[in-house]
Amino acid sequence: MQRAALLEAARTLLSEGGTEALTFPALAERTGLARSSVYEYFRSRAAVVEELCAVDFPVWAAEVEAAMERADGPEAKIEAYVRRQLALVGDRRHRAVVAISAGELDSGAREKIRAAHGGLIAMVVEALAALGHEQPRLSAVLLQGVVDAAVRRIELGAAEDPERITEAAVAMALRGVRG
């Protein structure tokens, strides 16, 4: 029960102020726990972020996968892959995934996150292979690079409207996968 409350408080803090806002005193204040009690559940901020990712990333990835399953044909699947990820940028669960700082996580945690991210990339490999890409895995990694750049642009509050960023990313992705 307390662990779930701490994770929910962490999501809120990340949504409101990014990684800088995620502190043990802030978690304690949000949950009504003593600061020392927070340490009973998590040894560090990185451990909080790691657990948030372990909990939230599979849900987030399932939403992307479901959007792709509803799409008809490889190009539509790729479009769904891009659109759904960018639609999730405002989702509080996404903030936890984006908040990962390689400097704050130990190598084991970074490897877990990389593996989860690899699962997301694997979703689009089949669609790229169906379009005739000779190296569909490499193409998927590059496609995810376009998505990641669009995510960062939206997260930064760029001058462009998030919908314009999404449309540009989808257009770029589709032109790229067509070769």
For 155-172, the DSSP string reads HTT-SS-HHHHHHHHHHH
**CATH code of residue 121:** 1.10.357.10
| Of residues 153, 156, 133, the one with CA closest to residue 78 | 133
21 and 50 together in one domain: no
Q: Residue 26 pLDDT > 60, yes or no?
A: yes
Q: Tell me how far apart the alpha carbons of residues 51 and 42 are, in angstroms, rounded to a whole number.
A: 9
Q: What percent of the chain has pLDDT over 70?
A: 88
33 and 50 together in one domain: no
Q: Residue 125 pLDDT > 80, yes or no?
A: yes
**8 A C-beta contact, residue 169 and residue 147:** yes
Q: Which domain holds residue 32?
A: 1-41
Residue of higher predicted confidence among 128 and 18: 128
Please state the domain count of the chain.
Answer: 2
- Of how many residues is the chain composed? 179
Residue of higher predicted confidence among 101 and 20: 20
> Which pLDDT score is estimated for 57?
82
CA 89, 90, 95, 99 dihedral sign is positive
Q: Tell me how far apart the alpha carbons of residues 134 and 126 are, in angstroms, rounded to a whole number.
A: 12
| Of residues 40, 22, 27, 120, the one with CA closest to residue 80 | 120
Q: Tell me how far apart the alpha carbons of residues 153 and 150 are, in angstroms, rounded to a whole number.
A: 5
What is the per-residue pLDDT across 31-78, written as a single tens digit (0 to 9) for each? 999 989 999 999 988 888 888 888 888 888 899 999 999 999 999 999
Count Cα atoms within 13 angstroms, Cβ side, for 164: 6
Name the amino acid, one letter, at 26: A
Q: Residue 102 pLDDT > 50, yes or no?
A: no
5 and 70 together in one domain: no
